[in-house]
């Protein structure tokens, strides 16, 4: 096996572990501070409205209003860094109008309708 083949094989084995590690640590990273994610494949804005029946909510951000679909298995975290406390696991029941959120979306590009991969909700001071 050549060095290049060995390197490629190693990379294929390590990437899933790194991806899982990033998601496991994501809970502890404040809104807007996820390197390679925040404002690249995520949106940060204020919750405009929550539709619990349709499992969606809307966000107002600099570009306008976005509708976010929330699948059942979507992790939700409470970012408590501004109150000097540890972050916690939350739920969509914690989403309220005017709260600041960061949503990592599943789609390859941003559009007015997105699907949440994870959600962080800022707990204000």
What does DSSP say about strands 113-122 and 42-51: parallel, antiparallel, or unpaired? Answer: unpaired
The per-residue pLDDT for 18 is 41
Is 90 among the domain residues? Answer: yes
Considering its fold, how many domains does the chain have in total? 1
* 35-42 long-range contacts, CB within 8 A, separation 24+: 37/104, 38/102, 41/104, 41/105, 42/102, 42/103, 42/104, 42/105
Is 17 among the domain residues? Answer: no
CATH classification at residue 97: 2.40.50.320
Using alpha carbons, select from 46, 26, 51 the residue that is nearest to residue 36. Answer: 26
The per-residue pLDDT for 19 is 43
Contact predicate 43/110, CB 8 Å: yes
Is 92 among the domain residues? Answer: yes
The per-residue pLDDT for 97 is 95
Is 5 among the domain residues? Answer: no
The per-residue pLDDT for 5 is 58
Is 63 among the domain residues? Answer: yes
Is 18 among the domain residues? Answer: no
Mean pLDDT for each consecutive 10-residue tract of the chain (125 residues)?
54 47 77 92 96 96 92 96 92 95 95 96 90
The per-residue pLDDT for 23 is 59
User: What is the domain extent for residue 112?
Assistant: 29-122
The per-residue pLDDT for 8 is 47
Place of tokens 């860094």: 81
Is 73 among the domain residues? Answer: yes
Is 9 among the domain residues? Answer: no
């Amino acid at each position: 096996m050549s060095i290049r083949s060995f390197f490629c094989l190693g990379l294929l084995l390590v990437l899933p572990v790194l991806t899982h590690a990033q998601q496991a640590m994501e809970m502890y990273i404040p809104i807007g501070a996820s390197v390679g994610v925040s404002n690249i494949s995520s949106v940060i804005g204020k919750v405009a409205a929550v539709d619990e029946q349709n499992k969606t909510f809307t966000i107002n951000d600099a570009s306008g209003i976005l509708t976010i679909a929330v699948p059942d298995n979507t992790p939700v975290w409470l970012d408590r860094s501004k109150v000097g406390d540890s972050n916690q696991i939350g739920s969509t029941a914690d989403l309220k109008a005017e709260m600041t959120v960061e949503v990592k979306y599943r789609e390859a590009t941003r559009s007015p309708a997105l699907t949440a991969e994870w959600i962080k909700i800022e707990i204000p001071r």
